Amino acid sequence: MLAEAGLLQHERVTLHWEAASAFQERYPSLTVSQELFEIDARRITCAGGTASIDLMLDLIGRRHGAELAAQVSEQFVLGRIRQRSDHQRMQIAARYGIHNRKLIQVIGVMEQHMEEPLSPDALAEEIGVTRRQLERLFCSAMKDTPTHFYLGLRLARAANYCNKPTCPSPPCAWHAASITIAFLPHLPHPLRFQPAPGPQLAMRDGALAGNRRGKLTQARTAW
Residues 169 and 193 in one domain: yes
| pLDDT of the residue at 146 | 95
| pLDDT at residue 217, as a whole number | 43
The verdict on residue 3 lying in a domain is no
Same domain, 26 and 98: no
1 found inside a domain = no
122-139 as b/e: b if 16+ CB within 10 A: ebbebbebeeeebbebbe
**Rounded Cα gap, residues 150 and 193, in angstroms:** 16
Residue 85 placed within a domain: no
Do residue 22 and residue 50 come from a single domain? yes
Residues 149 and 219 in one domain: yes
Q: pLDDT value at position 163?
A: 63
Residue 52, CA distances (Å) to 126, 184, 198 in order: 37, 41, 29
pLDDT band at residue 18, thresholds of 50, 70 and 90? Answer: confident
Any domain includes 33: yes
Q: How much of the chain exceeds pLDDT 90, in percent?
A: 36
pLDDT at 95: 85
Are residues 132 and 206 both part of a single domain?
A: no
Q: What is the pLDDT of residues 115-133, one digit of tens each?
A: 889 999 999 999 999 999 9
Question: For 76-119, what is each residue's pLDDT tens digit?
Answer: 988 888 888 787 777 788 888 899 999 999 999 998 888 889 99
Residues 149 and 98 grouped into a single domain = no
Is the pLDDT at 188 greater than 80? The verdict is no
> Quick one: 98 and 157 in the same domain?
no
Report yes or no on 86 lying in a domain: no
Is the pLDDT higher at 166 or at 130? 130
Tally of domains within the chain: 3
Going by pLDDT thresholds of 50, 70 and 90, the confidence category of residue 211 is: very low
Whether residue 160 sits in one domain with residue 128: no
User: Could you list the residue range(s) of the whole structural domain that residue 50 is in?
Assistant: 12-75
Same domain flag for 165 and 222: yes
Residue 6 belongs to a domain: no
**Residue 4 within any structural domain of the chain:** no
Residues 134 and 193 in one domain: no
Arithmetic mean of pLDDT, 24-45: 88
- Domain membership flag for residue 162: yes
